[in-house]
C-alpha cells in the first residue's frame, strides 16, 4: 500500500480514483461497508481504491475532554486492515488546529480538484470542515457536472443497534469479545512492537513477548487464548496471553505478554498483531513463583486443548 499525507499527493494518480472517507477507528463492519463501495467502484472502472482518514482522531483536537481514552486501531494497524480489504492508497491527513479551522468549502474544493478523482464514498451522516458544516450534500452541490460520483452508505446495524466505534469500545471494556467479533467481522486484535522485558517468563518456563500497545483499547485483565501474526506473509501462531499487572511478581504496570506455542525464535523488535480468543481465567496473585509456574503450565495445556477442540474462539 502507498501512504500519502496531503491531498496534493493524490495527483500522482491520473485516475480513476475511488476514495472512501472517514476516521475508520476499528475498521468495523460499518466502516467496511464504506470502504467496500470504493473498492467495488475501483474494480468496475479498473481504477485505484483509496481511503482518506485523519491522524490523530479529530475529537482529540476539537474536544480533548470528550476524546476516547483508547483507540481501536493505530495508523499502522489500520493500514494493514485496509490492505486486506483491497485498498491500494491510504491518505492520512494530519488533523491539527489549522485543519480544524479550515472551512468545509475549502476542504471540499481541494479534494474535488484532484484530477483523477472518480468517486467519493462516506457514511450518510459523515461531517467535515470547521464546525462540521461539511456534508455529502455540500459536496454534491460543488461537484456540478464534474464527473465525481458521490456515494452515501447507511449505518450497518447489529441486532437493532448501530455499529459504531463508541459501542465497540464499550463492548471490549465489558469483555464481550464474541459481540466485538460480530461487529468487526473478525476477532478483535491489537498490534505493537515486541520490547525487551525482565525475562521473567523464561524463568517461569514460558518465555513471553512483551507487546507495546500504546493507547489501544484492551479487554479486561486475564489469561486469553490468542493467535499472533508476525508478518502478513506468515500464518498465525497459536499462543497464550497474560494481560494485567502480574501481581505475583510485579503488581505495577499493566502489560500484554504473549507466549507463542511451539515457537522458537527471537521476537525482539518484531511487530505482532495479537488476536484475542477465549478468556481462560482471571488474573490472580499466587503464593510465589513456584505456584505461578505450575499455573502457567496448566494455562498452556488448557490453551492447547481449546485449540485442538476448536473452542479457542479464534
Domain edges within the chain? 2-162, 188-308
pLDDT at site 197: 63
Neighbouring residues of 185: CB distance < 8 A, sequence distance ≥ 6: 28, 29, 32
Domain 188-308: CATH superfamily, name plus number: Riboflavin kinase-like (2.40.30.30)
pLDDT at site 157: 96
Q: Is it the case that residue 204 has pLDDT exceeding 60?
A: no
pLDDT at site 200: 57
- Residue of 253 and 182 predicted with greater confidence: 182
Percentage of the chain surpassing pLDDT 70?
Answer: 93
End-to-end CA distance of the chain: 27
Region label for 117, one of left (φ > 0), alpha (ψ between -120 and 50) or beta (otherwise)? beta
Give the HSE-up count for residue 306: Cα atoms under 13 Å, Cβ half-sphere. 23
Handedness of CA 191, 195, 197, 202 (dihedral sign): positive
- Residue of 98 and 69 predicted with greater confidence: 98
Contact at 8 Å (CB) between 229 and 273?
Answer: yes
Rounded mean pLDDT of the chain?
89
Q: What single string gives the DSSP state of each residue in 62-114?
A: H-GGGS-SSBS--HHHHHHHHHHTT--EEEEEE--HHHHHS-HHHHHHHHHT-
Establish whether the linkage from the previous residue to 175 is cis, with ω within 30° of 0. Answer: no
CA angle 18, 22, 26 (to 5 degrees): 115
Residue 232: pLDDT band with limits 50, 70, 90: low
Mean pLDDT of 234-241: 89
Q: Is it the case that residue 82 has pLDDT exceeding 90?
A: yes
CATH of the domain spanning 2-162: 3.40.50.620
pLDDT at site 199: 55
Contact at 8 Å (CB) between 32 and 38?
Answer: no
Amino acid at each position: 500500500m502507498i501512504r500519502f499525507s496531503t491531498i496534493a499527493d493524490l495527483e500522482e494518480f491520473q485516475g480513476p480514483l475511488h476514495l472512501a472517507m472517514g476516521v475508520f477507528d476499528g475498521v468495523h463492519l460499518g466502516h467496511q461497508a464504506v470502504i467496500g463501495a470504493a473498492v467495488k467502484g475501483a474494480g468496475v472502472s479498473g481504477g485505484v481504491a483509496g481511503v482518506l482518514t485523519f491522524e490523530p482522531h479529530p475529537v482529540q483536537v476539537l474536544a480533548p475532554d470528550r476524546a476516547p481514552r483508547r483507540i481501536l486501531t493505530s495508523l499502522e494497524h489500520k493500514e494493514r486492515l485496509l490492505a486486506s480489504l483491497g485498498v491500494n492508497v491510504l491518505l492520512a491527513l494530519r488533523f491539527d488546529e489549522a485543519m480544524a479551522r479550515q472551512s468545509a468549502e475549502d476542504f471540499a474544493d481541494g479534494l474535488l480538484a484532484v484530477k483523477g478523482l472518480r468517486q467519493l464514498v462516506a457514511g450518510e451522516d459523515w461531517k467535515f470542515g470547521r464546525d462540521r458544516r461539511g456534508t455529502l450534500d455540500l459536496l454534491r452541490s460543488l461537484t456540478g457536472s464534474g464527473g465525481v460520483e458521490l456515494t452515501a452508505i447507511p449505518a450497518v446495524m447489529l441486532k437493532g443497534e448501530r455499529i459504531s466505534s463508541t459501542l465497540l469500545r464499550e463492548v471490549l471494556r465489558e469483555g464481550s469479545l464474541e459481540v466485538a467479533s460480530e461487529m468487526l467481522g473478525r476477532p478483535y486484535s491489537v498490534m505493537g512492537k515486541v520490547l525487551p522485558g525482565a525475562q521473567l517468563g523464561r524463568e517461569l518456563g514460558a518465555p513471553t513477548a512483551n507487546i507495546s500497545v500504546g493507547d489501544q483499547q484492551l479487554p479486561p485483565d486475564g489469561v486469553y487464548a490468542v493467535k499472533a501474526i508476525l508478518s502478513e506473509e506468515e500464518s498465525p501462531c497459536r499462543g497464550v496471553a497474560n494481560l494485567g499487572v502480574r501481581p505475583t511478581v510485579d503488581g505495577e504496570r499493566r502489560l500484554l505478554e504473549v507466549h507463542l506455542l511451539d515457537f522458537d525464535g527471537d521476537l525482539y523488535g518484531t511487530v505482532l498483531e495479537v488476536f484475542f480468543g477465549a478468556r481462560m481465567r482471571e488474573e490472580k496473585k499466587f503464593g510465589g513463583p513456584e505456584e505461578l509456574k505450575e499455573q502457567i503450565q496448566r494455562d498452556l495445556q488448557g490453551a492447547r486443548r481449546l485449540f485442538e477442540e476448536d473452542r479457542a474462539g479464534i
